[in-house]
Structure 1
Amino acid sequence: MPPKTLRAATYARYSTDLQSNASIEDQQRVCQRLITDRGWMLALAYSDAGISGASLMRPGYQRLLEDARNGKVDVVVSEGLDRISRDQEHIAAFYKQMKYLGIPVVTVAEGEISEIHIGLKGTMSALFIKDLAQKTHRGLEGRARKGKSAGGISYGYSVTRAFNADGTPVTGERDIIPEEAAIVARIFREYDAGHSARAIAVRLNEEGIPSPRSNKGSGTWGPSTISGNWKRGTGILNNELYIGRLIWDRLNYAKNPETQRRQSRLNDVEGLVNEAVPHLQIVDDALWQRVKARQAAIREDMNPAGVKGGNTRPENARRPNYLFSGLLVCGCCGASYTLINKTRYGCAGARNKGEAICTNRATIEREVVEDRVLTGLRDSLLHPELIATFVEDYRRAFNAEAAGADAAREKARRDLGQIDKKIRGILAAIEDGMYQPRMKDRMAELEAEKATLQRSLEQSPEPPALRLHPSLSDLYRSKIRNLSSALQDPGLKMEATEALRGLISEIRMVPASDALNGHRIELAGELAGILSLGDAETTKPALFARAGSETVVAGVGFEPTTFRL
C-alpha cells in the first residue's frame, strides 16, 4: 500500500496596515515550495492581514485550529514560528494542541518545531514585542511633546496633507474642519445653556449630522459621545484639545490573560504630556470653565461613592447589579437594553438617541426576563441528548487524565530500565578490572536517580477502571433543576452568576406583538452552542464534540451561535 500523501495547511500573517497583501503572497509561496519539496499536498491556506501576532482574535488562526481538530489537516506549514504567534503562552498552547492531535508543525525558517524551538523562539518573540512597544511609546511621546498627533484624530480635525520644503510629507499635524468645529462649539453652548447630553444627541441624530464614528460604521450620536468620562478625558466635553491643550498618555493598556481583552488603566497625572497647541483651539476658555463647573455640580448631585462620605469600593465598580446586566441588546438596532426605571428594561438607543435611530419602544420587566431565560435554560439543558453528552464528556475527561498518568508511569519504567542497564554496565567493567575512581560518583548518581523513579512509581499506582455510577445522569438533572436556587444562594451566587455570564455573549430582545410579554428572546454565545446539541434538527457541532475543546473567539469573521428560548 503506497504511503499516504500528507495534507498540508499553510498559515501566513503580517502585523500592520503599513505592510501589504504581497507579504501574505510571499509567505504562501515559500511555504508552497517547502510542501512541494517534501512531497506533500497543499490542502488548505489560512492568513490574517494587519493583525498582531500577540492576539488570538484572528479569524484565519481560529479556522486553522478548528479544521485541525476536525481532522482536515495532517501537517501545518508556516514561514516562521513568529508568524503563528509572538506570545509565549499562545505559541506553546498551539504547539501542545497540534502535538496532541498528532499534527507536526514545520516552518521554512526553523524546520520541524520541537519544544526547544517553542522555548527559545517564544522568548525571543516576547522580548521583540516588549522592545517594540517601548520604542513605539518613546517615538509617540516625542511627537506629542512637539504638539503633534501621537495617534488618532479628534472630531473637528483632519490630518494635514502637505509637504515640507525638502519634499517630504508633513506628519503629525492637524487642521481644523470648520463644519465639525461649529458642531463642537454648538455642543458646548447647548450644554452650558442647560441641555442634557442625551437631548443634544437626539437633536443631532434627528438633523442627520454625522457623528465622530460615522466613518467606522456607527453614524449615530449618543450621550457618552458627548459627556464621555471626565477622568479619562473622553467625550466631546472633556477633550482639552478644544481649548488648545494636548494631553497625551492618560491610559496604559494591559491584556487580561483569561479573556484576552485589553483593559485600560489611568496613568498618574504627574507623568502626562501636556503641551500648548493654541492654533487648534475651538472653544474659548470661559465657555470651557462654565461647562466644567456644570459637570462638577451634576456629579455632586449624583453623589457617587466617596463624594459625600462613605467607603469607596473600587472592586465593585463594574460588578453587574442584576443577573443579566449588560448582556441584553435590542434586536432592532443592537443598542443595550437598560433599566428605564426601577423594574423595566427598554432600548437605550430609542431612549437616548431618538426615533431617528430606533423605533423600538417596547419594555419588559427585569424579573420576567430573568425568569424566562432561566426557565428556558433549565428546560433545554434537561434534553436527553445533553444528558448523554454530559456523561460521555465525563468518561472522556477521565480517560484522558488516566492516559496522561499511564504515559508518565510508562516513561518512568523505561527510564528505570535504562538506569539498571547502566549500573550493570559499570559493575561488569569493574569485574573486568577497568575500575576508575569516577565510577564511584557515577554509581551514586545512578542509584539516586533509581530511588527517585521507584518512589515516583510507588506514589502513582495504576488508576482504577472507570465505572460510571448509575445515578450520574440523575446528579446532572438535579444540578440543572436547582439552577435558579444556586443563583440565589448567597454562598454560590457570585461564582454561579459569573460562570453563567461567561458563557453568554448577549441576550437579544426582539420586540414582537404576538410574543409573550411582547418580546422574543434569543441567546447568543457559547451556551447557545451547547444548547443546540439538544436540538433534534441540529448536527452536533465539532466544537463541542469532546471535553476540553477550545473556546471560539467571537472576533472578526465570527457570528456567535444563537439559540431561541
Structure 2
Amino acid sequence: MLIRNRIDRRTDLPGPTQQTPSVIAYYLRRSSADPLYFSIAAQLAHCNAHSHSLGGEFDQQRLLFVDRHRSGATTIGREGIAAMLEAARQGRFRILVVRSICRLTRNATDAARLHEQLTGLGVSIHVAGRGQVQQYEIMLLALSAQRERLRMMASLMDGKRRAAVSGEFFGSWPTYGYDRIDGPDWRKNVNQAAILERCFREVDAGLNLQDLAKLLNGECIPARNGGIWRPRHFFARGRGLLDRPILKGVFVWSLWGEKPITISRPDLAVISADLFDRVNERYGVPTRTQEPRTRAPFLLGLVRCACGDRMHLAEDGNAMHLHCRTAQIGGGCDRTKGFSTSIVARQVLHLFRHEILDPDSGPELEEGRRIEWQGLNATVQAERDRVSARIEQIAHELDALSQDEEEIDPYAAAACCELELEHHKLSERLTQLVVPPFGALDWERVDVDRARILRVMERLPSMSRSGEDLRVIELVRSIVSEIELDIREDGYQLRVWFGAPGAPKGFDAVDRLAGRWWMRWFPMPPKGPLRYPEVVLGHQRRAEAGMFRLDDGDWAAVEPVIRNAPRLGPRDRTMAEAILFIGMTGLPAKYFPERYEPCAPLLKHARPGAVWRGMYEVLHQRCSPVVAEAGPAARILHEDLNSRAHAHPVPPLEDPSPWCNPKA
C-alpha cells in the first residue's frame, strides 16, 4: 500500500526543463618541442569536433586562449592560462575543452590546483574525444604527462651527450678568440688570441684587473662586444675571457653540470696549461660577495655622466659618491673625480621647489610634458600594432604548416620551431609596450609639496622610508627622466631632462630636441656644514623657536654637570643650552643662532664633549623632551664633537631607518 501510494503521488511530475546550451572555451598550447600533431590548428580542429558533439556555444574572439612556445612544466609566465582563469572568474564560460591534459599542464600539482580552481568556479574540464574528466582522472593523466616530459628531457640530454662525446656537438655560442666555421667546430682568431695571450702575461706579472682594463682601453683595443674592457669580463666562473678551459686546449661540455664531458683540442690552445692554471688559481675563484648597501640615494638609476655612461655608486663611510664607470677603467672619459650624491639631490630638490612647483613657470612645463607623453603614446601604439600584425601573420603561417596531420615534414617542423620562438619573443615584447599614465601635478597641494621638499632638504644627506620622503621621491621620479652630471675642476654642471619616465625599452622617455631640460653650472660646494645650508638654517630656526630650551627641572638636573666643567666661563642656563645645541646638531660654535652668539667666544678653545655626554645621560634618564628627537650623530657619545660631521635634525617620522635595499 505504501509503495502504491508513492507511485500515485509521482504520476503528475513535470517534464524535463529546456536547458540552454553551455558556453564553451578552448585552451591551446604548443611548445617548440611538440610534434605537429599538437599544433594549434590540429588542437583547434579536435576541440571544434568535441564542441559540436556537446551542442554548446563557442566564441572564438573571446573564449580562445592560446599559449605559444610555452612549457607545460609550470603555469608561471603563461598569459593564455592566466586570461582563461580570469574569464572563468567572470563567469564567461562553463566548459573548458583541451586537446589533452598535457596541453593544459605537465605537472600533477598544477593539474590538481587548476581542477580545484575551475571546479569551484563552476567550470568542467573536457578532453576532446574523451569527455569530461574527474579529479582522479586529471591527476593520473597529468602525472603521465609529467613522466613523459622528464623522459623527453632525459632523451634530449642523452642525445646531446653522445654527440658531445663523438665530437659532433662542440658548441655554437660566440666566444672571444675563436671563429665559427662550417660544421660544429671552431678555429683560432689570430689577432684576438694574441690579445688573450698578452692578458695572461700581464696578469701573471702582477697587474690587477682594473689596471689591465685601463691598459687595453688606453690602446683603443676593441673588447669582446666592440665596447670597452671592464674588469668583470675577465673571470666569470668558466665563461669569462681568461677562465675558459678551451684556452689551454680543453673543451668542457656541461661545465657546471653533474657529468661534464672533457674533449681534448690542443689545436685550439692559446696559452700553455701551466700559465692558465697559475693565473686562474689566483683570480679564477667565484666572485666575492658584495656587502649590502646601508643606504641608497633616491636618484639611483637616473644620473649619467656627460660621456653617456652610467655613474657607479661607491659608499665611503657615511658618504656616497658617484663615479663614471668609463673613467674608472680608462675608457676615454677624463672625469675621474667622484661627486657626492647628496649634493646632486639637493640641487634637484632645490630646482623642484623653486621652479617646477612655481605656479608661473610650472604649468607651461607640464603642458610640454603632456604633449611629449601623447607623442610617446602614439609611437608605442604604432609599434604595438606592428607587433600584433606580425604575431597574427605568424599564427596563420603555423596553421598553414600544420594542416596535414598524417605526414609530418621535418622541414615544416623546423620552420614551426623557428616561428614559435619568434611568436614567443614578439608576445613578450607586446606585454612590454605599455606607456604609464601621465603623472600630472596637483596644483592645489603645491604648497604642501614645497614644504615636504624643504623638510627633506633639511635632513640631507639622510633619506628615510617615511611617507613624507616617499611622496617626495615619487614626485621627483614622475617628472625627471635623466640627470646628466658633468664634473669639472672648478665646479660641476647639472642637466635635468623632463619627460615621461617609465618609457618602454627602446623608446626615449624625453625628446632631447624639444628643449624641456634645465641646466645650471655650480662651483664646488664648500667643506663643512655649509654644503647643506638648509640644514644649518633649519637648526637655527628650531633653536630660535625654543627647541633646545631647558625648563627648570632639566636645568636643576644638569646644573651640577655644568658647574664641574673647567674653562667654560659663565656656567648659566644659556651656556648649557648652547652646549646642548652643539651636541644635538653637531654644528660648531660659529654657526650659533643669535640667542647663543655670546657663548661662541667662550667655547672657542673649550672642548664641550665631556659636558655634553654628561648632560645627555642625565636628560635621557629623565626622559626629557629636549633629547627625545636627537639626531643620529647625537647618540654617538664616544666621539669628539669637534671632529665629527654635523648631525641631522630628525622630526617624528613613520620609519626613520635609512634605505637598506637599493633595488626597492
Give TM-score, length-normalised by structure 2: 0.40
Q: Whose Rg is larger?
A: 2
